[in-house]
Amino acid sequence: MYTQLRRDQRVALATLRCAGYSQARTASAIGVSTSTLSRELRRNARMDGTYDARSAGRTARVRRAGAKHHTRILEHHTTLARIIELRMRATLSPEQVAHEVHGISHASIYAWIARSRPDLTQYLRRRGKKRRRYGTVGILSRYQAAKRPLANRPRIVATRARIGDWEGDTARGGNRTSALLVYAERKSRFVVARTLVRATADAVYAETIRLLRAHPVHTITDDNGSEFALHRGIEANLGVRVYFARPGHPEERGTCENTIGLIREFFPKGTNFATVSRRRVARALWLLNHRPRKCLFWQTPCRVFGSCCTSD
């Protein structure tokens, strides 16, 4: 059965196409059938045949928004829409309105409000906010449900016996939108980082690939923030597994947490990383990676890692 691609799958698709992967190999990597992939390229690629994840997602959303436009009753029946609006202004709920006005369901009224009349949410009992019944478990988002828990991570990672197991997190800037994306290697404490003007999932995905592609990578353990939502795309691109620590347990990513603490010596809290040059970041990383560590028997991270950090 044909299904729409998720954002992380579209990003991975664009990346793998640029890398010259065949359709069959790409479909296998992102977890869809070849027919689904073929239809995605046929319907959402650009006019010149190139495929861009952001453009494809926008095209799909526009098409989906207008898919049932001809069947939407309230958009075409202004009198009925006006009656519903007046009854809601008189403090009736959509269910009560549907009981009075035959031929329309309360679900259709809610959908119409969300789709075309968001101004009417002020007349809803809970202003359109969904409430979960006490004692029940909420439904996980696709991003949350797809995460690999730390308990499934190979045991060798905990021993720090090899190079290539990384921990990742973002150090937020003073404006809360900029950030410094930080990855620390567990055995050597070697650190790489890159500034982000906006700490979005797309930006974290792209910079993660650039930062780690040239280094040995076996596993990545990330923070639970939504900026790491495209972790499946990172897995497909780097050929690794990404794991997540439990929420509220930063000690399970202690190497990265400690590294960010050291980085704060150079960039204190409140720093706007949108104004920090890459040269300043590279200088700070050079000093950290050439600082002898007691936990490394007074060797430097660069020496243990087996490669010297260079500014980019």
pLDDT in tens, 265-278: 999 988 999 999 99
Among all chains, which residue has been given the structure tokens 């950030």? 179
Pairwise CA distance, residues 163 & 49, whole Å:
41
- What does the pLDDT read at residue 312? 44
Nearest to 170 by CA among 83, 259, 245, 232: 259
Token pair recorded at residue 260: 């960010």
- Band (pLDDT 50/70/90 cuts) for residue 23 is confident
- What does the pLDDT read at residue 311? 45
Contacts of 194 (CB under 8 A, 6+ apart): 180, 181, 207, 210, 211, 278, 281
Question: 140 versus 269: which is more confidently predicted?
Answer: 269
- What does the pLDDT read at residue 117? 86
- What does the pLDDT read at residue 3? 67
| CATH architecture for segment(s) 145-305 | 2-Layer Sandwich (3.30)
Average pLDDT over residues 75-100: 87
Pairwise CA distance, residues 121 & 109, whole Å:
11
Res. 127: pLDDT tops 90: no
Contacts of 216 (CB under 8 A, 6+ apart): 163, 164
Is the pTM for the entire model greater than 0.85? no
